[in-house]
Every structure is written in structure tokens, then in C-alpha cells.
Amino acid sequence: MKIAIGADHGGVQLKDEIKELMESLGHRVEDLGCHCTDSVDYPDYAIPVCEKVVSGEADKGILICGTGIGMCIAANKIPGIRCALVHDVFSAKATREHNDSNVLAMGARVVGPGLALEIARTWIGTEFSGEVRHENRIRKIKSIEDKYALHP
């Protein structure tokens, strides 16, 4: 699987740890930055990651900032992205099984590295259930995207 990953200054260290984990699991990782601890703007990293996912250049995306909130908000502005802000293992599994999330957001100042790595491992290793009820809900989300893309 190819994973695009990005972080702002608040998540750069955790990004590097998650990148290493994903590579150790056999995934290809495209690191879209940032690569410093100087203050940067999270949308500048969320959008390129999401564009890779929407275009099919990456299968999934992972975003990290201080809380994960900013990254998640920015990511979900991109049609076709279902980004989930996750800070526990149960939610990581559920958002893949039920929502078919294609981008994971986490907060480096909210979860420690051990838990974050377990969340990432669980999220990337969980498949969408494909249950009709979940597919119907995702179609409804897509119809909302379509409606507001045409009528801002």
C-alpha cells in the first residue's frame, strides 16, 4: 500500500515515527513534510496529502498536527476525503470498518507516541466492512459533497 503522510511543526516528530512504522510493515510512504519544528500552516501539508489520496497516487493518508483538529478540518474540505480524527484504538478500527476513512488525523500533543503507533497500525490494518448500511451512509456523504460542490 502507498501512504502519503504530512504534518505541521507540532506533529513532525510523530510523523517520522509513524513513517518508520509504516515502512517496517511493508508500505511505501511518501513524506510530504514538514521537516522542521519552525511554525508552519497545517493546510499547506493536509491538502497535498489529500490530493495524493483523491488522485489515486496514494491509497491512504496520515496527517498529524498538535491536536489533529486543524488537519482534519482542512482535509475534509477536499471532496472524496473521509478524514477521521482518532485518539484511541477502538475509533481507529471503527472508522475504517464503518466509514471507510481514507485519511487518518492525530494530535501529537494529545496522544503519546506508543498509542499513536498502535492507532496507526490498527487503522492501516483494518478493512472496510462493506456492509450495505455503511455503504449507504457513505453514499449520503458523497451526495452532500456533490450538492455543496455545485452550490457553494
Q: Is 35 in the active site?
A: no
- CA angle centred on 91, ends 89 and 92, rounded to 5°: 60
Secondary structure (DSSP) of 11-73:
THHHHHHHHHHHHHTT-EEEE----SSS---THHHHHHHHHHHHHTS-SEEEEEESSSHHHHH
Determine whether 98 is an active site residue. yes
The residue from 9, 34, 50, 65 that is catalytic is 65
Among residues 27, 87, 98, 134, the one annotated as catalytic is 98
By annotation, the residues acting in catalysis are: 65, 98
